[in-house]
Each structure stands twice: as C-alpha cells, then as structure tokens.
Amino acid sequence: MERLIFHVDVNSAFLSWTSVKRLQNGESDLRLVPSCIGGDAGSRSGIVLAKSIPAKQFQIETAEPISQALRKCPTLVVAPPDFMWYRQCSKAFKDICRSYAPAVEEFSIDECFLDMTGTRRIYPDPVKTAYEIKDRIRDELGFTVNIGIGPNKLLAKMAGDFEKPDKVHTLFREEIPQKMWPLPVRDLLFCGKATAERLNNGGIFTIGELANANLDDLKKLMGEKGGEALHRSANGEDTSEVSEDYGDAKSYSIVTTEDDNITDYERADRILLGLTDRVSKRLRRDGMRTTCISVTVRYLDFKTRSHQRKLSEPTDISLEIYEQGRQLLRGLWDGKTPLRLLGIALGDVTKDTVTQLSLFPEDNERREKRQKMDRTMDDILDRFGKGSLKRGSGLKEQ
C-alpha cells in the first residue's frame, strides 16, 4: 500500500490569526491592507515577523527592521504578536486535522503532516477530503490553509508550497517531472541558499538537473552524504515517518529583539536570564525537562549564529539552564559586535523526573533550593502576571 500524506500549512499564520482576533473585536482585517506583525510601530523597533499580500507589493521582507519597512510603506499597519492567541489557533486547526487522520505530526506552530495511509475506505477521494479539511478550517476558524498531497512528507510539503493561498495541490510520483523538476534548486525542501549557490556554481540550476545529475559527480561537488541526500530528494524519495507526538512539545524556545542593539555582556546576561526564566517556566508547567540547550544571536546584517550543548542529565531548573546558556553565549559572541536578536531554546525534552544525586550534600541542597525558588516564582507569576517578579540584577544566586 503506497503511503498517502497531507501537509497542512496556515497561510501567513501570525497575520491571519491576528486578523481573526481583530475581526472578533470589530477591528479591520489586516489581510486586506499593507500590514505586518512585528515590533512597536510607535518606536519603529523590532522586525517583521509576517506580512500581508498587499505589503509584498512594497517589497517588504520577513525579518527586516520595522523602521525599514515603514520607509518603504509609510501607511503600513503594524500589529504586535500575540503568542498565547497563536497557540490557541494552532491547537484549533490541528484538532480539526486530528479528526481526519490516524496520525498527525506537528511540524511547527502553523504546519502539520497528516498520515492518511489506509483511509481510502473512509475517504475514497483524497483531493475531495483535503478540500473538506481546508474549507472546515476556513469556515469554522476564520483563516485559510494550503494542503499538499503526496506519497511522502517531502512531496506533500513541496506540493503545499505551490500557489497560495487557500489551495489544494498534489505531487504524486508521476507528477514530479512536470510539477517539481522545472523549479529552481532553491525551492527544494531543505536546500538552503548556500547549497543552492554551490549547485549553481556546479552548473545545476533546476531540481530536474539535480535529479538527473551523475551521482558520483554530485558527491564530489557536495560531499558523500550531502550529494546522495540531495539526489534522493530531487527524485522525490523520502522514507521518514509521520510521528504522532500526542501534543507533547519537542522543544521550547524564546527570542527577543531589543529596542536598541545589545553591545555588552552585562546587558546580554540580564536579557538571557529573563528569557530563561520565561521559557523554563513553560517547561515546568508541562512537567518536562530538557537535555539540550542552545543559544542563538543575530547581528545587524541578519547573519545568525547558534551554539548548543547536551546535558549529562535532564533539568528544569532556571539557574542551571541559565548558567549553561551564559557559557554558550560566551562561546559564540565577542560581547562587542552589536546584536539585534538573542534567544534560547530547550530541546530533547523528556518527562524523566529521576535526578541523579550528587556525592556532595551541598550540591543536592543547592539544587533543592533552586527548585523551591523556581516553584515560588512560578506561583507568583501565575497569580499576579508577567512583570510582577524578576530576579536581582546581580544575576548570581545568594
């Protein structure tokens, strides 16, 4: 039995979800005018997180500074993000998807894969079923999605990225030469800008040219594993499974773009501690622990760097996470070059609650003290809200 996979992707998710809430409050629909989701329009700070289709006419780009976007379009409507609302919208559309598919994999907050293999008796026409899902999301939730259909995750996602918005597309194996091969290699899933440039320099410009390239020559150009992986993808080969995660988060992350550039360790540490407290609170709320910590920075030219570290045992303690993050920050940033963005992510999460005791009683006592401090802070923040409590500026445990 050939596999049947759907990929569901919300069109301009943040902007669409904000528009739904605005319409509920009697405000205008941002999707109809030049608009974006981002920082503070009043102070012209922050970056563009999402943009409307009318905003594209002004060449406004995702991740560019709000101030630059406003110079391109002075009438641009800028709305702040609302991540709590976005999580509700994300859950709502994925719940509809779960009512159709035996397994649903959350690929991101606004994307998921549906494994529809073996459902032909219930849904004999996959395209008709995809339209039904798409229209239910639009009619019940107020925003649109694209749905791609294919025999594996790669082809389903490629199909979903065809013409938008509010569309259903197929990309079955017999359709690859017509629909996928004429596309530039940059459009191939997981083919980044640097990889595409390297392929172009080697005389390969389309996915079809990549698919039909000599494999030995491709390995010489892109490396043994890289060349083989690209060749397989260009031919539509993908054996990865749709992994149902039952709603558990695989990672937790948080980033911030400051009103002015970060140019010293003292301020960066203060910001990092605040981010750590917020993201680790979410971790503890879900009863999870992390075994991998990563820190990300972005410079004025939008170049991004990140470092990560595996932990010997899981933790949910804010100060333990912060100490690792602080060391990672020192390893990837000189403390002087201006930063636009700073973030921390907690990956490889687990529900493992077993803690290895130290041979030194003082270490166990310090860990217990930190856990009690975290629980107390979480309780206060839950009762009185964000901003009601912050750690001391010294950043050191007393």
Give the confidence band of 362 by pLDDT, cuts at 50, 70, 90: low
- 94 and 140 assigned to the same domain: yes
User: Which residue, among 33, 36, 29, 86, has the nearest Cα to 65 in the 3D structure?
Assistant: 36
Residue 132's Cβ-count burial label (10 Å; 0-12, 13-18, 19+) is middle
The answer to whether residues 335 and 362 belong to one domain is: yes
Catalytic residue set: 111
- Looking at the 3D structure of the chain, how many domains does it have? 4
CATH number of the domain that residue 216 is part of:
1.10.150.20
Instruction: Tell me the torsion sign for CA atoms 171, 175, 176, 181.
Output: negative
Indicate the pTM of the whole model: 0.63
CA-wise closest residue to 220 among 207, 205, 204:
204
Instruction: Say yes or no to pLDDT of 82 above 80.
Output: yes
Work out the mean pLDDT of the chain and round it to a whole number: 85
- Minimum mean pLDDT among 123-132, 289-298, 381-390: which range? 381-390
Domain that holds residue 215: 186-234
Do 96 and 61 belong together in one domain?
no
Question: Is 310 inside any structural domain?
Answer: yes
Residue 144 has pLDDT above 90, yes or no: yes
* 335 within a domain of the structure (yes/no): yes
Q: Are residues 96 and 209 in the same domain?
A: no
Position 245 in a domain: no
Residue 19 lies in a domain: yes
Facing residues of 292 across strands? 310, 347
CATH number of the domain at 129, please: 3.30.70.270
The average pLDDT across 48-52 equals 89
Q: Which of 83, 107, 131 is the last residue of a domain?
A: 83
Is residue 387 predicted with pLDDT exceeding 80?
no
Residue 389 lies in a domain: no
The answer to the question of residue 258 being in a domain is yes
Judged against a pLDDT cut of 50, whether residue 397 lies above it is answered with no
Last residue of a domain, one of 83, 101, 131: 83
Q: Is residue 241 part of a domain?
A: no
Say yes or no: 369 and 282 in one domain. Answer: yes
Q: Are strands 5-10 and 35-37 parallel, antiparallel or unpaired?
A: unpaired
Is residue 364 domain-shared with residue 268, that is, in the same domain?
yes
Encoding tokens for residue 78? Answer: 């800028």
Query: Both 287 and 171 in a single domain?
Result: no
- State whether 52 and 133 are in the same domain: no
Is the CB of residue 112 less than 8 Å from the CB of residue 245?
no
Task: Summarize pLDDT for 9-39 with one digit per residue, the tens.
Answer: 999 899 999 999 999 999 999 999 999 998 6
pLDDT, tens digit, 9 for 90 and up, residues 246-275: 444 567 888 776 667 899 999 999 999 989
What pLDDT sits at residue 282?
A: 85
Using DSSP's 3-state secondary structure scheme, residue 307 falls into strand
Q: Are residues 311 and 361 in the same domain?
A: yes
Q: What is the mean pLDDT of residues 240-249?
A: 62
- Helices 361-384 and 318-332, packing angle to 10 deg: 100
Given 176, 195, 215, the domain boundary residue is 176
CA distances from 101 to 117, 135, 147, 156, 250 (A): 9, 16, 14, 15, 21
Residue 167 has pLDDT above 80, yes or no: yes
* CATH number (domain holding residue 310): 3.30.1490.100
Please check whether residues 349 and 257 belong to one and the same domain: yes
CATH number at residue 48: 3.40.1170.60
